[in-house]
Amino acid sequence: MALIRFRPFSNDLPLSDIQSQMNRLFDNFLGQPASPEVGERVWAPAADMYETKNEVVVRAELPGITDKDIHVSVTGDLLTIQGERRGENDVQDASHYRRERWFGKFVRTFSLPMPVESSQIKATYRDGILRIELPLVVQKPRARSVPIEIEE
């Protein structure tokens, strides 16, 4: 068996190949192509989820979307945020050199870490940030019996 020494900056592996491999890595991490024929990417807005004493909070970055294009639902222990950012067609008869902003429909689904009061969920949208407050279910203390030994 022959050993081959890895030389990343030799002529065997041009820098353009490294760049294409890194681009493919980030493409896979940030969004899979929807269909290889079209080359369209699936948009997945960034989101944070954290828990406070009384609630679970989800914050999602949705710049360029109107509140009418955002739909939030809770089914069981799943929170779903879906919507659409519409593309701008203000440039006519032009060739784009770079197009980094993603447009189109998106769906994000989050598994909630604990039960929430779905009837008291609040959602606000300001400056491109969607904030969803999901109050935790208040658990009532359960009555329990403790055996007591009686001495004679």
Statement to judge: residues 36 and 53 lie in one domain: no
Q: What is the pLDDT of residue 38?
A: 47
Q: What is the pLDDT of residue 26?
A: 67
State the residue range of the domain holding 72: 44-86+104-139
Domain annotation covers residue 122: yes
| Cα distance between residue 79 and residue 11, in whole Å | 50
Domain annotation covers residue 149: no
Q: What is the pLDDT of residue 37?
A: 42
Statement to judge: residues 23 and 79 lie in one domain: no
| Cα distance between residue 110 and residue 115, in whole Å | 13
Domain annotation covers residue 94: no
Q: What is the pLDDT of residue 6?
A: 60
Give the count of domains, the chain: 2
Domain annotation covers residue 73: yes
Q: What is the pLDDT of residue 47?
A: 95
Statement to judge: residues 29 and 56 lie in one domain: no
pTM: 0.62
Domain annotation covers residue 109: yes
* 134 burial level (CB within 10 Å; 0-12, 13-18, 19+): buried
Name the stretches of the chain with pLDDT < 70: 1-21, 23-42, 88-93, 96, 99, 140-143, 148, 152
Statement to judge: residues 17 and 68 lie in one domain: no
